[in-house]
Structure 1
């Protein structure tokens, strides 16, 4: 890993009244920028559609756009000039509010302009020229480019949350790309299924529908690649990028994959047990199921390779996330299965709705159970190396706590249904029929809570050191620049929260990463000041908390 060093920064931002001033200024800037962008997009839309009769006589709309652009626009420019001055930036650059403003506005502008432009392109393919979305897309693309330029400015860009905005943008691009690809594949699969079941030729407009989805897929892929590869989100091993990697790999992609498999398996079970509904209705979600499973598997496989190159903490967090998502599907399937079986007290099992409910529950139970077995590996759950997994105790407590909360809510629902049944016995509906959904959910959560509580008890009784001992609570590091490698090394060696203070003037021959980590060996304190000095010297000063 190569270290990245930024230019010397100003002293940290001062709080108090300065924080209030920044909050108000940035909030006003955001409001005026949004209003001005709305007015400019309205004026540009009129410029593109001068021949529309309804536009020509819409004086109220024209007045609104003119007021928004000509009043809010200059105010936004004035506020930006007050913020962007060298003196102001010298005080505000290290403030958390400056990057928060840029993250919020750049992400909002990115969402607005990409949705507007991609929707305009997709609609143009199918319905012809309509510049309504184009005007919004152009204006908000300029707003996004402006904030992107401020974010990347070498002297006035933020010194905190440096990877947040690109990481969010890469997630947005991946969502567009995966969603568009799923939609395109689903349309093709559904068309093929319809042609096979009805013996008809797919109609010509299919290419337009597929092309619309491909617009989103290609646009999202370009957006994702620009931020993921070009801006280096893939190589970031700190902050929001790590959380994003765990979320995509351990939660989002696996959930899409599992959901697609569940729908596909339920369709196959319906076919195997005999049709009780039209084939067209049964096969309606087939394309989405297959496409979701394929795309989810591709995204999961790609990001799993990146996770394998990361630290033990990232790998453990991803593994525990996959186990949690798989467990959620399995528990939901078990609850739905119990619900369907309880429904047989009043209706026959082979009734259409009950059978479909039972098959859907069994599908979720099978898919979620298999994935949980592969990710959690219950036979090896109590091995010492598994017990020592980072974050395992937190995971067990979270699962047990959530299960107990759901069980409490379902108990309240069951109690309500019991008293309602006793007070309204003439309704003709049995108590089981009233509360079968809650009873199924209570059974599932009870089993989940019991199992994880037993695992937690075994972990506590073992002599394996589950949680690492942190002898330092907080580290304040003084250096000439933001060395990402040094920051990660100190955080990994101490487990402490690390704050970086940058010198106003750099020093020559700062100590390397190994020297700083070695200087912290054996130090015990709630707060430690580390000064990376000249000629490779390191000063470690324990502070009174």
Structure 2
């Protein structure tokens, strides 16, 4: 109940303070420059926002302040930290944006280009508009900054605030980095360009706008990253999953964009070498797009890839280190496999087209260039990332066992199998369709041989991918089964029979999993002779265990059961909730607690979100190439 109430008050306070801030900005803008700001309509709108927003904000914010001062739980709540840091973002980012707007227009005008050549979002703004927005947002940000600083001085438990602050810092770092990368891309795009006589081509405003982005974005990025790096003395910051995730995203996003840009660059070069009728200006213009994107993203890949490796190396556990490196390698290996497959398929299709048509056209050269560029980029990428993973899996010992059991390796292999099976099935359907259609109609058509050969070569390639990865999967399974069987055969487990069917249940589960371990059954009153690695006992026996069970030196595994008046809680919070329900006369189900379905859903969506970010970075790189 408190969480829902807290969410309501802070959410309303956040929305209302933003309404008030932008109402004040609109009011001051209408006073300073009525013609630009809309006159009476703008004034009425601003006053309405202020008159409605102020009382609503005060009611909810003052309640939050009183509750925070009275209750330590409210002061340390994650939602309060989210509110305070979100307010700082919502006010300071507009400050930076208005500073960028002013600087961009100033640089464009100083270059003699006119305000119309600035970024489209900034063209209709004035210096007064920017200063008012900076002033009002700055005042609100200063107030909440002081509130936040005072909070840090009185917090007993700073964990919640530390986690939100960590996210706040990384948001600023990514924001500054995005401006820096985009500004660098704009400048490089202009430098790799030969001016022509066509109206609407790239002009000096590109380099001017890029300079504005660099001047504003670089200090934001450098300062934010320096603050993050300085905080690594705290073990919680160094071991943060957020840091690891950000480093992965930046390194992978950089390498994926570089691979895409490299493929496009090679494609352009090969097309030119094959005799494309391009002028020098058009050729340089084509090269400028992918190079201007690939260079800054390549630097991002190199820099954050370096810090990712250092982060992984700082972990003392070798098994964890290799596991963290697998994610990076398997993602790149799968991308390399797909690009290589496309390259080989395109090359074979080109050969078939030339053989069946007995001519070489300009369209064929484009196909050949695409095939060569895909192979030049994709095949080395796949070999450089897949071969180390395969070599690791072939190692005899603990390292090889962990590599073969890796979820990432299984995911990669089954993705390859899935793609090859589905692709092969679709191709086989197309092949059978063509044959049946010709058999029924008797009309093969002029392109029958070409289409038939292209379908067969695709089916062959899907078959090669399927057979190769299926053999790898089988080899992993055989090696893993032998290794696990050897380990299980020397492991002994002791099951304490309490008469509730626990022995039969455990034996059935072991039999189902194909376990080879040695199982011994005893009773609570009888201590068996022997050396056992683990002991399995029911919960009713565990709470009133005899001395020999309490002094057992190995691992003790407790199975929850339906013992009378024995309730199981996962943690202190669940225990407190159970006591509260008992006090209110409610019944508590005596069953083994299971992981919430929402937790599983959250994990799935987190993984999908991470994948979406990677795809967005890739799309961003492609859009820059296509659009600039």
So what's the TM-score if we normalise by structure 1? 0.66
In structure 2, distance between residues paired with 1:140 and 1:412: 61
Q: Which moved more, 1:302-311 or 1:58-67?
A: 58-67
Aligned pair 1:66/2:50, yes or no? yes
1:477-518: CA deviation from partner (whole Å, max 9, x where unpaired)? xxxxxxxxxxxxxxxxxxxxxxxxxxxxxxxxxxxxxxxxxx
Aligned pair 1:463/2:483, yes or no? yes
Unaligned 5+ segments in structure 1 are 1-19, 472-518, 531-543
Unaligned 5+ segments in structure 2 are 107-126, 355-359, 494-550, 559-567, 572-591, 594-628
1:330 offset after TM fit, Å? 0.6
In structure 1, distance between residues paired with 2:151 and 2:479: 46
| Cα separation, partners in 2 of 1:258 and 1:33, compared to 1, 3 Å | closer
Aligned pairs for 1:453-492 (under 5 A) are 453-454=473-474, 456-463=476-483
Q: Which moved more, 1:266-275 or 1:117-126?
A: 266-275
Counterpart of 1:286 in structure 2 is 291
In structure 2, distance between residues paired with 1:391 and 1:67: 65
Aligned pairs for 1:7-22 (under 5 A) are 20-22=1-3
1:323-363: CA deviation from partner (whole Å, max 9, x where unpaired)? 12211321221232245246546686862553453244224
Q: Which secondary structure does the structure 2 equivalent of 1:463 belong to?
A: helix
| Cα separation, partners in 2 of 1:220 and 1:141, compared to 1, 3 Å | farther
In structure 1, distance between residues paired with 2:84 and 2:461: 42
1:304 offset after TM fit, Å? 1.7
Q: Which moved more, 1:458-467 or 1:281-290?
A: 458-467
Aligned pairs for 1:37-436 (under 5 A) are 37-48=18-29, 50-53=32-35, 54-58=37-41, 59-86=43-70, 88-90=71-73, 98-99=77-78, 101-102=79-80, 104-105=82-83, 108-109=86-87, 111-128=89-106, 129=127, 130-131=129-130, 134=134, 137-138=137-138, 141-142=141-142, 145=145, 148-149=148-149, 152-155=152-155, 159=159, 161=160, 163-194=162-193, 203=204, 206-229=207-230, 232=231, 234-238=232-236, 241-264=239-262, 266-268=264-266, 270-272=268-270, 273-274=273-274, 276=276, 278-279=282-283, 280-312=285-317, 314-341=320-347, 344=350, 351=363, 353-373=366-386, 376-383=388-395, 384-389=397-402, 393-404=406-417, 406=419, 410=423
1:30 offset after TM fit, Å? 1.5
8 A contact 1:167–1:241 mirrored in 2: no
8 A contact 1:41–1:135 mirrored in 2: no
In structure 1, distance between residues paired with 2:182 and 2:552: 53
Q: Which secondary structure does the structure 2 equivalent of 1:310 belong to?
A: coil
| Cα separation, partners in 2 of 1:202 and 1:151, compared to 1, 3 Å | same
In structure 2, distance between residues paired with 1:137 and 1:434: 62
| Cα separation, partners in 2 of 1:346 and 1:166, compared to 1, 3 Å | farther
Counterpart of 2:556 in structure 1 is 524
Larger Rg: 2
8 A contact 1:334–1:362 mirrored in 2: yes
8 A contact 1:174–1:224 mirrored in 2: yes
Q: Which secondary structure does the structure 2 equivalent of 1:285 belong to?
A: helix
Counterpart of 1:500 in structure 2 is none
Counterpart of 2:15 in structure 1 is 34
Q: Which secondary structure does the structure 2 equivalent of 1:524 belong to?
A: strand
Q: Which secondary structure does the structure 1 equivalent of 2:154 belong to?
A: coil
In structure 1, distance between residues paired with 2:85 and 2:452: 49
1:135-178: CA deviation from partner (whole Å, max 9, x where unpaired)? 6853774586367447635336554x454223323432332343
- The Cα RMSD (Å) is 4.8
Q: Relative contact order (C-alpha < 8 Å, sep 6+): which is higher?
A: 1
8 A contact 2:264–2:373 mirrored in 1: yes
So what's the TM-score if we normalise by structure 2? 0.59
